[in-house]
Structure 1
Amino acid sequence: MDQAVKDFVAGKRLAVVGASRSGKKFGNIAYKELKQRGYQVYIVHPTASEIDGEPCYPSLGALKEQVDGVVVSVPPTQGMQVLQDASKAGLKDVWIQQQGDSPELLQLGESLGLNLIHGKCILMYAEPVRSFHSFHRFFVRLTGKL
């Protein structure tokens, strides 16, 4: 596991961008799983006041608590604004969930001086790793890509 990933998952206060009111998006799964794993998780949603009984914040800048990192689970077109918001809020560590990145998004993150992790699922690295992710992690370790 590379140092950037270790440092990111060591931070215990995370914002999650990409949870939905319907509860059917990966952002909802990430939020619930990270919370179960002992993380303090804040949901960022531009229009929802709460999701699953938890308060939402309209932007990263509206968070009342300082977070250690941001988990982004939105399409790249929406991710562009999220990265700009992270930069404006002084947040440097951003995990872009799989299929959420694009060359343009990564270029923007680099130009903003953000520490980006992408192409990986946070649930394979945030301890304790469980269920399917534990099985998947085992095989990724065998390939030497963990």
Structure 2
Amino acid sequence: MKTSQLINEFLQTKNIAVAGVSRNPQGGVGNFIYKKFKQSGYNVFQINPNAGTIEGDICYCDLKSIPQKIDSVFIATNPEQSLAVVTQCIENGVSKIWFHRAFGNGSYSKEAEDFCRQNNIIPITYGCPVMHLQPVDFGHKCIKFFMKLSGKI
């Protein structure tokens, strides 16, 4: 299946969890993506095992703590934590998984990708939803252009 099709399927879901939202007031990738999903009308849930709330929204310690059925998970953790998140996805029946990855590894882990594939899940291993959620800022338009040129998305 082409990455563009996987991305379209991911973005057609409504209940999305973002793993790796930061407690840091300056936030991080996970916080930015969480806000973008929220602004775009998704039912989005934050996951951070060390936070009760972030910026006034409930933050769940893990996937199974979320009271609604989650359709998709966006991983914005350190790569070392990605396998644990993928394991939670599999345990909770989530088959749409996206690793944040633009330059460098981002949240991508080869071990986590392999575990997805061993469990019949084809994850999205490049890119960022912000490249697709309208309105797309200039920086993300450029990243998307170069990722398309390189065949990554």
Q: TM-score, normalised by structure 1?
A: 0.88
Matches within 5 A, 1:1-146: 2-23=4-25, 24-98=27-101, 99-125=106-132, 127-131=133-137, 132-138=139-145, 140=147, 143=149, 145=151, 146=153
CA contact (8 A) 2:53 2:59 kept: yes
Which region of structure 1 is more displaced relative to structure 2, 43-52 or 99-108? 99-108
Name structure 1 gaps, 5 residues minimum. Answer: none
In angstroms, what is the RMSD of aligned CA positions? 1.8
CA deviation after TM superposition for structure 1 residue 144, in Å: 7.3
CA deviation after TM superposition for structure 1 residue 135, in Å: 4.1
Q: Which runs of 4+ in 1 moved over 6 A?
A: none
Amino acid at match of 1:136: I
CA deviation after TM superposition for structure 1 residue 108, in Å: 1.4
Name structure 2 gaps, 5 residues minimum. Answer: none
Amino acid at match of 2:125: H
CA contact (8 A) 2:19 2:48 kept: yes
Q: TM-score, normalised by structure 2?
A: 0.85
